Amino acid sequence: GAVVSQHPSRVICKSGTSVKIECRSLDFQATTMFWYRQFPKQSLMLMATSNEGSKATYEQGVEKDKFLINHASLTLSTLTVTSAHPEDSSFYICSASSENEQFFGPGTRLTVL
Amino acid sequence: GDSVTQMEGPVTLSEEAFLTINCTYTATGYPSLFWYVQYPGEGLQLLLKATKADDKGSNKGFEATYRKETTSFHLEKGSVQVSDSAVYFCAPQLAGGTSYGKLTFGQGTILTVHP
């Protein structure tokens, strides 16, 4: 149980385009989902906390207009990187919270050319 | 603010060696404490957890004890295997207020185990 999926697993896009990443909790409902960014050989940086039906709470320094988060249902949250640039290339990981424990998705590797 | 200090790596060990990865934290209140593992090319998996003082979390031969007095949660394994090669993250979870449920990750420790 407690499986979280992410789609796509890898995406390559051109600079200036937008990319949407989906995070789904497959066998449980998650009122809260989290989005992280991980740079090579570094730790996870929390970007935002997403609560179903309400606006996401962004961490300091994260541009909310660039990283759009939508949590439309109890099993789906999406992260859209708008007008992507090469510096947005990274590994994006989501997690879904259930009974005070976070379950992580496998991550999405974004490469912006 | 809340923070985690994790033993820097990389750590390289021979198979069957003893492993310790230190983790200390600062936080308001009494957070739940987690160790996550990330195998090459994969996402994070929960390794073990402890939710209150003196609790010992254990899994796959790994152990960590919640030490309130030293605000530490050191990870140990008596005999490592090649398959334990991965990145290990210590992560306290805030217990209340507007930051409820948030994990604060340590910088990660890369472990490589040689045959």
Q: Mark yes or no for CB contact A34/B102 under 8 Å.
A: yes
Mean pLDDT of chain B: 90
Say which residue the tokens 């992280």 belong to: A36
B99 by DSSP, 3-state: which? helix
CA distance B93 to A72: 25
Distance in Å, alpha carbon of A101 to nearest chain B alpha carbon: 8
Whether residues A46 and B106 touch (CB distance < 8 A) is answered with no
Query: In this predicted model, what pLDDT tens digit does every residue of A12-56 receive, in sequence order?
Result: 999 999 999 999 999 999 889 999 998 877 788 999 999 888 889
Instruction: Convert the pLDDT of each residue in B27-56 to its tens digit.
Output: 877 889 999 999 987 888 999 999 999 999
Q: Which token pair is B88?
A: 């290990």
Torsion angle defined by CA atoms of residues B2, B5, B10 and B15, in that order, rounded to the nearest 10 degrees:
-110
Among A40-44, A101-105, B12-16, which stretch is predicted with the lowest mean pLDDT? A40-44
According to DSSP, residue B40 is labeled T
Closest residue by Cα to residue B44 from A36, A14, A100, A55: A36
Read off the pLDDT band of A101 (50, 70, 90).
Answer: confident
